[in-house]
């Protein structure tokens, strides 16, 4: 069983204009609509939705900041293309078992792949949904959105059917015990999530076709398998495991 994680206590629309959208999200995620209650952890809904936790907050925009630069250079995503063995002639079905803010999943969707994104935290699922909703109505964004399916839940629910996907992807949190340079987003997730869940070892025991695990470049290998291949970037690497007799 997965650990129980901290999550939002509800959604606060910033003003009347966002009431209807907030009600829809509250119904979908079964969380209360909040007014001015004092809470530790909630989503504020406005044109730039915010996940608030204690004194910190997190936003998720696909059109501003660092991630928008990554999107604008989509064709330079060579590392991800190699790790996932992307093929111009065959669309891959991918299970992203650790959705987070959906950045990797969105890159894969923009590259034309069909991605099922599973994220167990409701607050993060909402930030992802709203980042997708805020995208301009451009054909390549519309196509990418149609390539994504977001599921709120524990990806271990898919442990019995990993063979239904061409690739199983795991991006666990990097261990904060190490003195790594961490982005503001990672620092937020570090305090907010309050756990390090890594489903990679569970998926490794099953009959997957290709398992891709994102790691900090110098991190020790989590799964001992001498046939694994690593694709290395400047700060991260992808450890790739292929189907074998388990």
Ligand X SMILES: C[S@@+](CC[C@H](N)C(=O)[O-])C[C@H]1O[C@@H](n2cnc3c(N)ncnc32)[C@H](O)[C@@H]1O
Q: Which residues are near ligand X by CB under 6 A?
A: 2, 97-98, 100-104, 118-121, 124, 154-156, 171, 173, 193, 197, 199
CA distances from 162 to 28, 39, 81, 92, 155 (A): 26, 38, 20, 13, 10
Torsion region of 114: left, alpha or beta (phi above 0 gives left; psi -120 to 50 gives alpha): beta
**Which is nearer to ligand X, 103 or 237 (by Cβ)?**
103
All residues at 6 or more sequence positions from 82 whose CB lies less than 8 Å from its CB, including other chains: 231, 238
**Which is nearer to ligand X, 177 or 227 (by Cβ)?**
177
Residue nearest ligand X (C-beta atom)? 100
CA distances from 124 to 26, 138, 239 (A): 14, 24, 25
> CA–CA separation, 45 vs 26, rounded Å?
11
| Nearest in space to 104 (alpha carbons), one of 159, 169, 51 | 169
> CA–CA separation, 130 vs 28, rounded Å?
13
Q: How far is the CB of 137 from ligand X (least distance, A)?
A: 23
**Which is nearer to ligand X, 33 or 180 (by Cβ)?**
180
**Which is nearer to ligand X, 116 or 155 (by Cβ)?**
155
Q: How far is the CB of 35 from ligand X (least distance, A)?
A: 27
Element (H, E) at 41: strand 41-45
**Which is nearer to ligand X, 14 or 223 (by Cβ)?**
223
> How do strand 56-59 and strand 148-152 relate by DSSP bridges?
unpaired
**Which is nearer to ligand X, 2 or 228 (by Cβ)?**
2
Q: How far is the CB of 63 from ligand X (least distance, A)?
A: 16
Q: How far is the CB of 193 from ligand X (least distance, A)?
A: 5
Q: How far is the CB of 215 from ligand X (least distance, A)?
A: 11
Q: How far is the CB of 20 from ligand X (least distance, A)?
A: 27
């Amino acid at each position: 069983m997965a650990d129980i994680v901290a999550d939002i206590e509800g959604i606060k629309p910033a003003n009347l204009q966002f009431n209807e959208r907030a009600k829809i999200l509250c119904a979908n995620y079964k969380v209360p609509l909040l007014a001015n209650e004092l809470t530790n952890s909630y989503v504020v809904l406005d044109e730039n939705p915010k996940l608030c936790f204690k004194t910190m907050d997190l936003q998720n925009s696909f059109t501003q900041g660092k991630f928008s630069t990554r999107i604008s250079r989509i064709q330079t995503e060579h590392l991800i293309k190699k790790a996932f063995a992307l093929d111009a002639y065959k669309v891959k079905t991918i299970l992203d078992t650790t959705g987070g803010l959906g950045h990797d999943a969105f890159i894969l969707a923009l590259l034309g792949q069909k991605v099922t994104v599973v994220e167990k935290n409701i607050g993060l699922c909402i930030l992802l949904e709203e980042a997708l909703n805020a995208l301009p109505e451009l054909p390549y964004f519309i196509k990418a959105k149609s390539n994504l399916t977001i599921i709120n839940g524990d990806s271990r629910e898919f442990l019995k059917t990993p063979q239904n996907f061409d690739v199983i992807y795991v991006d666990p949190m990097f261990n904060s015990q190490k003195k790594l340079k961490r982005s503001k987003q990672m620092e937020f997730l570090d305090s907010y999530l309050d756990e390090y869940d890594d489903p990679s070892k569970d998926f490794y025991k099953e009959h997957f076709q290709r398992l891709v695990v994102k790691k900090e470049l110098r991190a020790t290998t989590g799964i001992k398998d001498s046939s694994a291949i690593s694709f290395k970037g400047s700060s991260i690497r992808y450890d790739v495991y292929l189907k074998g007799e388990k």
